[in-house]
A and B are shown apart, each in its own frame.
Chain A
């Protein structure tokens, strides 16, 4: 007993979940009306808290099986954690859908269906815990209404579209009309394109009856909302248009014998409430058309000059303007005025209140949504009031900054989490955010209580107050640690690859470079031995010995320079920024290639501009680029006749602040197939190439704000050109 009580209590505390499954999308008035009234009724009458969800299956527009399984999968995932306790379906297609997928989406949940035709209901073998409202759209009685209003009409036009539901109507309509007592001259406007339908309807004679069923789709496959079609067609129809649908009333149709969708919603909600209260759904029999009645639109009647007196008794006349005016004008006018005025005020107040409530709820909803979305995206939202030195931030910011649950969210709490080295950046960013309307972005490190360091990107901007002063700044925090570590890793890999490429280029050149060192060594040895021989003589020529020693020093320096150049190329290091003299760079690079060029019988000419161009960058990397380009030029000339093998390196400029460095060869040039792919990583035309040389060169030059291009020389061979911005050191006045 006690256990049961606890059970009941815990059940009561947990809200019951109702899922409304719409067959269509939200633009279909019929199902939307049912859903709205059902929702309203449920919330009004339920003794326990309810959580009402809705999903739009949109099955009319998406008919493939794959779509159905996808949406079923989606819903299964969506409601996996919190399965619905009850499902209300809206529209006939939603019922077979939930019957097929109920075990996945809402296991064992009872289902209340709505807007299902008797025919569809009969065709379904429904489990016992499914019940609901069967809607029969009564064409016969609607036709009877039209007969009463237009007794002399002899022609009948029946309209239905080409959708699945439309086609069901087509056969049902033929049967009903054939069985109908009075015989008409009938024209069936089925399976037409919408344009054709419009044309046909506009030509209908005035004294005919137009019966609009449904147009979910036209013969060209365009999808429609039937109630909207009713609006379009009734606007152009010369003859009165009737329909067995409540939603068409107000959209131009005269009316018919219709079920009001609101009443369907209310009945369905009542069934749902009984089931939620514990009643066995098997004991609740499905109901058919609980609220059907004759309903007409007074304005449509007036438009087609139909007489109200001919209406069947108990007909609900909607949109009727009061006629009391004409009878008791004098006596009532004052009262009406007051009433009108009052209602106007009341109405205005109501409208305002509704608007405000709506705005409030929208705001709340939007805020909740935003906070949720931000937290899901690992983004913290914040606002800072300078005047009050107050910081507002979403709860998620606590997690990001590792701030304890009970600690206040103030400016200082946040700043205390910031890495000491970045504190200045953070405070300045906050300050700047208040000074400028431009969004400011800065990345700072924060230290979590466990010692973990994370990168947070602060995006901030200020809000101008009415008086033009900005006292409020705000923005977002994004955790960019992963991005930063990926960036760092990429940079590391880039350094690694650049280094490897340099090593491999130098490896190719090793023989030649050894020769460059061997030459001064030879000179040194010869001079030293000469000196020894001189000293061994009886009266040594000391001046000559001195010269020899000086030459030794000079040659030693020369060897040292080669080694220095090599060492800097072989060293793995961060990118440096210094002033680089481009002509010196060319000369120093070429000096490493001296004997390689001789070995390959290539003559190299320099045509360097007299002006000493300076650029800012990393000389080792720029040297690597030049080395690579010259090596490429040399490789390109392997099959060029020896007499024609030549490379010209020239510098010129500055043009538009850029200095150009050209490496021109007389080789095979760039193959048209390779053009455009040369800078792609791992693309190579060489047998021994890795395909990274030019990619790297291009990356390096771009990092120096320059540009690398490769074109064919019309005189044969290729021209590699890179341009770098000229940057003269600024001289500070003392």
Chain B
């Protein structure tokens, strides 16, 4: 009940302010800066945005094509759909203790718990709570976030865990003898079934070998500048794919 009233009320209160802020920003930008250059910039940025979006599946397909050429039973990736959402707040109130964002898309827009949230640069997090028109998103930087990932080139699997805002992410469970290189991009492995395979998540920052552990000590940086985000994309599962939230009857 609290989700359907409290979160809905908070979202409704915050939305008009954000809308006014955006309108005023657009007005000031349009009139006080070089109008033509600005318009051109906007068009180029939109084009870049679209190209980046197109590149995500292309990158995945290119890597897959090399590996799967020899295999007989190639199966095409499922067609997920994107939906834009505005960020209208972050942590609101004393109980908002997780690193999270508030977005203006909810259950009525098809958003469900665990819906992947990303930008053209990479994964931002996943939906945690949903009300009819708003949702909260658990960020990948939160210590409670764990995402199965693999190196884009090395294909080494690991689990990417958050350590808090403005702190490096940790890649856990990578054995000492597995290859994973600095600057390598980590993509979702799709093993947990929440995220589709091949979405960029983070870039490896440092790889240390520990004498005390069976696993490598790997730090990574998010591909997305989360502090500067204004819009995100919600990724909707194709109807043909099984929903990991579904209840299985005994």
A binds B: no
